[in-house]
Amino acid sequence: MKTINKLLLAVILVITYSCDDIIEEDITDNNITVQYPLNEQEIESNVVNFQWEELKGADDYRIQIYATGQNVMVDTLVNKANFTYNLNPGKYQWRVRGENFAYQTPYSFPTSFTLIETSDLTNQQVLLLYPDSGTYTKNLSPTFSWTNVSAATNYSYQLIDITNGNSLIHEENSLTGTSFSLPTGIITQDGQYTWKVKALNTENETETPFASRNFYVDTTAPNVPLNTTPVDNKQTPVNEEVDFSWTVATDSGPVTSSISYSIQIAQDQNFATIINSATTTNPTYQYTFTIAGNYYWRVKATDKAGNVSTYSTAYKITIQ
Protein backbone atom coordinates (compact mmCIF):
# COMPACT_ATOMS: atom_id res chain seq x y z
CA MET A 1 0.00 0.00 0.00
CA LYS A 2 2.82 2.42 0.87
CA THR A 3 4.45 1.70 -2.51
CA ILE A 4 1.19 2.58 -4.27
CA ASN A 5 0.92 5.81 -2.27
CA LYS A 6 4.45 6.78 -3.25
CA LEU A 7 3.64 6.17 -6.93
CA LEU A 8 0.50 8.29 -6.66
CA LEU A 9 2.49 11.08 -5.02
CA ALA A 10 5.07 10.97 -7.82
CA VAL A 11 2.32 11.22 -10.44
CA ILE A 12 0.75 14.19 -8.64
CA LEU A 13 4.11 15.98 -8.49
CA VAL A 14 4.69 15.46 -12.21
CA ILE A 15 1.22 16.79 -12.99
CA THR A 16 1.73 19.76 -10.67
CA TYR A 17 5.01 20.81 -12.27
CA SER A 18 3.54 20.30 -15.74
CA CYS A 19 0.63 22.55 -14.77
CA ASP A 20 3.09 25.23 -13.64
CA ASP A 21 4.54 25.27 -17.15
CA ILE A 22 1.04 25.56 -18.63
CA ILE A 23 -0.36 28.31 -16.38
CA GLU A 24 2.78 30.48 -16.26
CA GLU A 25 2.31 33.53 -18.49
CA ASP A 26 4.63 33.67 -21.49
CA ILE A 27 6.56 36.93 -21.03
CA THR A 28 9.29 36.31 -23.60
CA ASP A 29 7.99 39.10 -25.89
CA ASN A 30 7.59 41.67 -23.09
CA ASN A 31 10.06 44.41 -22.22
CA ILE A 32 11.02 45.92 -18.89
CA THR A 33 10.78 49.72 -18.63
CA VAL A 34 13.49 51.22 -16.41
CA GLN A 35 12.62 54.25 -14.29
CA TYR A 36 15.77 55.14 -12.33
CA PRO A 37 18.54 55.83 -12.99
CA LEU A 38 17.94 56.85 -16.58
CA ASN A 39 20.55 56.92 -19.33
CA GLU A 40 23.49 59.28 -18.72
CA GLN A 41 22.04 60.42 -15.39
CA GLU A 42 24.44 61.90 -12.83
CA ILE A 43 23.82 61.04 -9.20
CA GLU A 44 25.33 62.78 -6.19
CA SER A 45 25.03 59.92 -3.73
CA ASN A 46 26.78 56.80 -2.51
CA VAL A 47 23.67 54.63 -2.90
CA VAL A 48 21.48 53.96 -5.93
CA ASN A 49 17.89 52.76 -5.69
CA PHE A 50 17.38 51.05 -9.04
CA GLN A 51 13.73 51.14 -10.10
CA TRP A 52 11.65 49.76 -12.97
CA GLU A 53 8.01 49.20 -13.83
CA GLU A 54 6.39 46.04 -12.51
CA LEU A 55 5.62 43.52 -15.25
CA LYS A 56 2.49 41.40 -15.13
CA GLY A 57 3.45 37.72 -15.24
CA ALA A 58 6.94 38.26 -13.79
CA ASP A 59 7.53 36.64 -10.40
CA ASP A 60 11.11 37.89 -10.03
CA TYR A 61 13.58 40.25 -11.67
CA ARG A 62 17.25 39.68 -12.45
CA ILE A 63 19.32 42.86 -12.23
CA GLN A 64 22.91 43.22 -13.41
CA ILE A 65 25.23 46.14 -12.62
CA TYR A 66 28.66 46.55 -14.13
CA ALA A 67 31.33 49.18 -14.49
CA THR A 68 31.61 50.41 -18.05
CA GLY A 69 33.71 48.01 -20.12
CA GLN A 70 34.18 45.57 -17.22
CA ASN A 71 32.67 42.34 -15.97
CA VAL A 72 29.38 42.19 -14.11
CA MET A 73 29.72 43.44 -10.51
CA VAL A 74 26.22 42.47 -9.38
CA ASP A 75 24.01 39.67 -10.73
CA THR A 76 21.10 39.03 -8.39
CA LEU A 77 17.45 38.00 -8.35
CA VAL A 78 14.87 40.15 -6.50
CA ASN A 79 11.12 39.76 -6.08
CA LYS A 80 10.17 43.44 -6.29
CA ALA A 81 10.63 46.24 -8.83
CA ASN A 82 13.52 48.00 -7.07
CA PHE A 83 16.96 47.25 -5.70
CA THR A 84 19.25 49.37 -3.52
CA TYR A 85 23.01 49.05 -3.79
CA ASN A 86 26.06 50.91 -2.48
CA LEU A 87 28.57 52.04 -5.14
CA ASN A 88 31.80 54.02 -5.26
CA PRO A 89 32.03 57.13 -7.45
CA GLY A 90 32.39 56.23 -11.12
CA LYS A 91 30.57 55.35 -14.33
CA TYR A 92 28.30 52.30 -14.48
CA GLN A 93 25.72 50.49 -16.56
CA TRP A 94 22.75 48.41 -15.47
CA ARG A 95 20.03 46.25 -16.97
CA VAL A 96 17.13 44.12 -15.73
CA ARG A 97 14.82 41.38 -16.98
CA GLY A 98 11.63 39.70 -15.72
CA GLU A 99 11.41 36.00 -14.91
CA ASN A 100 8.86 33.41 -13.88
CA PHE A 101 8.98 29.63 -13.48
CA ALA A 102 8.97 28.95 -17.22
CA TYR A 103 9.83 32.15 -19.09
CA GLN A 104 11.98 35.27 -19.05
CA THR A 105 11.97 38.60 -20.86
CA PRO A 106 14.94 40.04 -22.73
CA TYR A 107 17.19 42.30 -20.68
CA SER A 108 16.40 46.00 -20.83
CA PHE A 109 18.83 48.01 -22.97
CA PRO A 110 21.98 48.79 -20.91
CA THR A 111 21.54 52.13 -19.16
CA SER A 112 24.57 54.26 -18.27
CA PHE A 113 24.82 56.48 -15.19
CA THR A 114 27.53 58.24 -13.19
CA LEU A 115 28.01 58.52 -9.45
CA ILE A 116 29.64 61.83 -8.57
CA GLU A 117 31.78 62.11 -5.47
CA THR A 118 30.56 64.77 -3.07
CA SER A 119 31.18 65.66 0.56
CA ASP A 120 27.58 66.79 0.99
CA LEU A 121 25.82 63.98 2.88
CA THR A 122 22.30 65.36 2.49
CA ASN A 123 21.33 62.97 -0.33
CA GLN A 124 23.47 60.04 0.78
CA GLN A 125 22.56 57.00 2.86
CA VAL A 126 24.03 54.60 5.38
CA LEU A 127 23.39 50.99 4.41
CA LEU A 128 22.94 48.83 7.49
CA LEU A 129 24.46 45.35 7.37
CA TYR A 130 23.85 43.45 10.63
CA PRO A 131 21.53 42.68 12.26
CA ASP A 132 19.30 42.52 9.22
CA SER A 133 15.66 43.56 9.42
CA GLY A 134 13.62 40.87 11.21
CA THR A 135 16.66 39.11 12.70
CA TYR A 136 16.09 36.99 15.82
CA THR A 137 19.02 36.75 18.22
CA LYS A 138 19.69 35.50 21.73
CA ASN A 139 22.77 37.71 22.01
CA LEU A 140 22.20 40.54 24.51
CA SER A 141 25.32 42.38 23.31
CA PRO A 142 25.27 42.15 19.50
CA THR A 143 27.74 43.89 17.21
CA PHE A 144 26.07 46.26 14.74
CA SER A 145 27.70 46.99 11.39
CA TRP A 146 27.08 49.22 8.37
CA THR A 147 28.73 50.26 5.10
CA ASN A 148 31.30 53.02 4.94
CA VAL A 149 30.26 56.45 3.68
CA SER A 150 33.42 57.94 2.18
CA ALA A 151 32.59 61.56 3.01
CA ALA A 152 31.61 60.83 6.62
CA THR A 153 33.83 62.04 9.45
CA ASN A 154 31.84 60.11 12.07
CA TYR A 155 28.62 58.23 12.76
CA SER A 156 25.84 58.37 15.36
CA TYR A 157 24.14 55.22 16.67
CA GLN A 158 20.84 54.82 18.53
CA LEU A 159 19.02 51.85 20.05
CA ILE A 160 15.26 52.01 20.60
CA ASP A 161 13.23 49.61 22.78
CA ILE A 162 10.03 49.13 20.77
CA THR A 163 8.42 46.74 23.26
CA ASN A 164 8.62 49.26 26.10
CA GLY A 165 7.21 52.45 24.63
CA ASN A 166 9.72 53.20 21.83
CA SER A 167 12.19 54.46 24.40
CA LEU A 168 15.78 55.41 23.55
CA ILE A 169 17.92 53.11 25.69
CA HIS A 170 21.37 53.80 24.25
CA GLU A 171 23.09 56.40 22.10
CA GLU A 172 26.64 56.56 20.84
CA ASN A 173 28.09 59.56 18.98
CA SER A 174 31.36 60.33 17.20
CA LEU A 175 31.92 56.74 16.08
CA THR A 176 34.68 56.65 13.47
CA GLY A 177 34.36 52.99 12.45
CA THR A 178 31.59 51.08 10.71
CA SER A 179 30.66 48.79 13.60
CA PHE A 180 29.64 49.09 17.23
CA SER A 181 29.48 46.40 19.92
CA LEU A 182 26.74 47.05 22.42
CA PRO A 183 27.98 46.97 26.04
CA THR A 184 26.47 44.41 28.39
CA GLY A 185 23.59 45.54 30.56
CA ILE A 186 21.87 47.72 27.93
CA ILE A 187 19.48 45.05 26.68
CA THR A 188 18.12 43.27 29.74
CA GLN A 189 14.95 41.60 28.46
CA ASP A 190 13.43 39.92 25.43
CA GLY A 191 11.59 42.17 23.01
CA GLN A 192 11.62 44.07 19.73
CA TYR A 193 14.29 46.71 19.15
CA THR A 194 15.24 49.23 16.47
CA TRP A 195 18.80 50.26 15.72
CA LYS A 196 19.63 53.44 13.81
CA VAL A 197 22.76 54.94 12.29
CA LYS A 198 23.46 58.21 10.50
CA ALA A 199 26.66 59.60 8.97
CA LEU A 200 27.91 63.12 9.64
CA ASN A 201 30.43 65.43 8.01
CA THR A 202 31.58 67.95 10.64
CA GLU A 203 33.49 70.04 8.08
CA ASN A 204 30.47 71.07 6.02
CA GLU A 205 27.88 70.30 8.74
CA THR A 206 25.84 67.91 6.63
CA GLU A 207 24.45 64.52 7.60
CA THR A 208 22.49 61.62 6.18
CA PRO A 209 19.05 60.68 7.46
CA PHE A 210 18.99 57.92 10.07
CA ALA A 211 18.83 54.43 8.55
CA SER A 212 16.97 51.97 10.78
CA ARG A 213 16.16 48.27 11.14
CA ASN A 214 14.11 46.22 13.59
CA PHE A 215 15.35 43.06 15.27
CA TYR A 216 14.19 40.73 18.04
CA VAL A 217 15.97 39.57 21.17
CA ASP A 218 14.76 36.16 22.36
CA THR A 219 16.55 34.26 25.12
CA THR A 220 13.72 31.88 26.03
CA ALA A 221 13.99 28.26 24.87
CA PRO A 222 10.94 26.59 23.31
CA ASN A 223 9.02 23.89 25.15
CA VAL A 224 10.28 20.32 24.98
CA PRO A 225 8.44 18.26 22.35
CA LEU A 226 6.95 14.94 23.50
CA ASN A 227 7.37 11.69 21.55
CA THR A 228 4.05 10.30 20.29
CA THR A 229 4.66 7.60 17.66
CA PRO A 230 6.01 5.02 17.58
CA VAL A 231 5.14 4.43 21.22
CA ASP A 232 7.82 3.32 23.62
CA ASN A 233 8.93 -0.33 23.13
CA LYS A 234 7.16 -0.56 19.78
CA GLN A 235 8.04 -3.61 17.65
CA THR A 236 8.29 -3.07 13.89
CA PRO A 237 9.34 -5.31 10.96
CA VAL A 238 12.70 -4.66 9.32
CA ASN A 239 12.73 -2.76 5.99
CA GLU A 240 9.38 -1.14 6.74
CA GLU A 241 9.16 2.66 6.83
CA VAL A 242 8.58 3.98 10.34
CA ASP A 243 6.60 7.18 10.90
CA PHE A 244 8.01 9.19 13.80
CA SER A 245 5.91 11.98 15.27
CA TRP A 246 5.92 14.25 18.31
CA THR A 247 3.93 17.10 19.83
CA VAL A 248 4.26 20.59 18.38
CA ALA A 249 6.59 22.68 20.53
CA THR A 250 5.58 26.24 21.37
CA ASP A 251 7.95 29.16 21.63
CA SER A 252 7.21 30.81 24.96
CA GLY A 253 8.17 34.24 26.25
CA PRO A 254 7.40 37.75 24.90
CA VAL A 255 9.07 37.01 21.55
CA THR A 256 7.99 33.98 19.56
CA SER A 257 9.23 32.61 16.26
CA SER A 258 8.96 29.53 14.06
CA ILE A 259 10.28 26.20 15.35
CA SER A 260 12.46 23.53 13.76
CA TYR A 261 13.09 20.06 15.13
CA SER A 262 16.17 17.85 15.37
CA ILE A 263 15.61 14.10 15.66
CA GLN A 264 18.25 11.54 16.61
CA ILE A 265 18.09 7.76 16.22
CA ALA A 266 20.73 5.72 18.06
CA GLN A 267 21.71 2.16 18.87
CA ASP A 268 22.11 2.87 22.58
CA GLN A 269 20.26 4.75 25.32
CA ASN A 270 23.12 7.20 25.79
CA PHE A 271 23.08 8.14 22.08
CA ALA A 272 26.78 7.46 21.75
CA THR A 273 26.22 5.64 18.45
CA ILE A 274 23.83 7.73 16.37
CA ILE A 275 22.80 6.04 13.13
CA ASN A 276 20.63 8.87 11.79
CA SER A 277 19.92 12.52 12.57
CA ALA A 278 17.83 15.08 10.71
CA THR A 279 16.32 18.55 10.98
CA THR A 280 12.76 19.30 9.91
CA THR A 281 10.16 22.05 10.31
CA ASN A 282 7.39 19.46 10.61
CA PRO A 283 6.67 17.39 13.74
CA THR A 284 7.06 14.19 11.71
CA TYR A 285 9.88 12.16 10.19
CA GLN A 286 10.14 8.89 8.23
CA TYR A 287 12.97 6.36 8.44
CA THR A 288 13.46 2.76 7.32
CA PHE A 289 15.56 0.39 9.43
CA THR A 290 17.44 -2.17 7.34
CA ILE A 291 19.03 -4.07 10.23
CA ALA A 292 17.13 -5.74 13.06
CA GLY A 293 17.89 -4.69 16.63
CA ASN A 294 16.97 -2.30 19.42
CA TYR A 295 17.07 1.44 18.70
CA TYR A 296 16.25 4.66 20.57
CA TRP A 297 14.94 8.00 19.33
CA ARG A 298 14.50 11.50 20.72
CA VAL A 299 13.81 15.03 19.44
CA LYS A 300 14.47 18.65 20.45
CA ALA A 301 13.11 22.03 19.32
CA THR A 302 15.03 25.13 18.15
CA ASP A 303 13.61 28.62 17.55
CA LYS A 304 14.84 31.25 15.07
CA ALA A 305 17.01 32.92 17.69
CA GLY A 306 18.92 29.67 18.22
CA ASN A 307 17.42 28.80 21.60
CA VAL A 308 17.27 25.02 22.00
CA SER A 309 15.04 22.90 24.22
CA THR A 310 16.29 19.82 25.99
CA TYR A 311 15.77 16.49 24.24
CA SER A 312 12.53 14.62 24.75
CA THR A 313 12.56 11.41 26.76
CA ALA A 314 14.05 8.70 24.56
CA TYR A 315 11.73 5.96 23.29
CA LYS A 316 12.83 2.44 22.41
CA ILE A 317 11.89 0.75 19.15
CA THR A 318 12.63 -2.89 18.34
CA ILE A 319 13.18 -3.86 14.71
CA GLN A 320 12.51 -7.56 14.05
pLDDT, tens digit (0-9, with 9 covering 90-100), for 284-298:
999 999 999 999 999
Q: Is the pTM of this model over 0.95?
A: no
Tell me if 146 sits within 8 A of 178, measured CB to CB: yes
pLDDT band at 88 (very low <50, low <70, confident <90, very high): confident
Report the percent of the chain where pLDDT is more than 70: 93
Tell me the average pLDDT across 76-89.
Answer: 94
Would you say residue 10 has pLDDT above 80?
no
Cβ contact 152:200 at 8 Å: yes
- Per-residue confidence band for 14, with pLDDT thresholds at 50, 70 and 90: very low
Q: Please give the sequence-ordered ranges of beta strands (E in DSSP) within 182-289, or none if there are none.
A: 191-201, 206-207, 211-217, 227-229, 234-236, 241-246, 259-266, 274-280, 284-288
Residue 14's H or E segment, with its range, is helix 2-23
Q: Are 265 and 299 within 8 A, CB to CB?
A: no
C-alpha distances (whole Å) from 46 to each of 150, 198, 202, 237, 255 are 8, 13, 18, 66, 36
- The partner residues of 98 in beta bridges, in order of sequence, read 61
**Is the dihedral angle over the CA atoms 124, 130, 136, 137 positive or is it negative?**
negative
pLDDT at residue 84 tops 50: yes
The mean per-residue pLDDT over the stretch 61-86 comes to: 92
Which pLDDT band holds residue 20 (cuts at 50, 70, 90)? very low
pLDDT tens-digit map of 113-124: 999 989 999 999
303: nearest Cα among 229, 225, 186: 225
Q: pLDDT tens digit string along 24-58?
A: 899 999 999 999 999 999 999 999 999 999 999 99
pLDDT tens, position by position, 124-159: 999 999 999 999 999 999 999 999 998 999 999 999
- Cβ atoms < 10 Å from Cβ of 94: 24
Cα–Cα distances in angstroms (integers) from residue 69 to residues 23, 33, 76, 118, 135, in the given order: 40, 23, 19, 24, 38
Q: Is the pLDDT of residue 8 over 90?
A: no
The whole-chain average pLDDT of the chain stands at 93
* Interatomic CA distance for residues 50 and 37, integer angstroms: 6
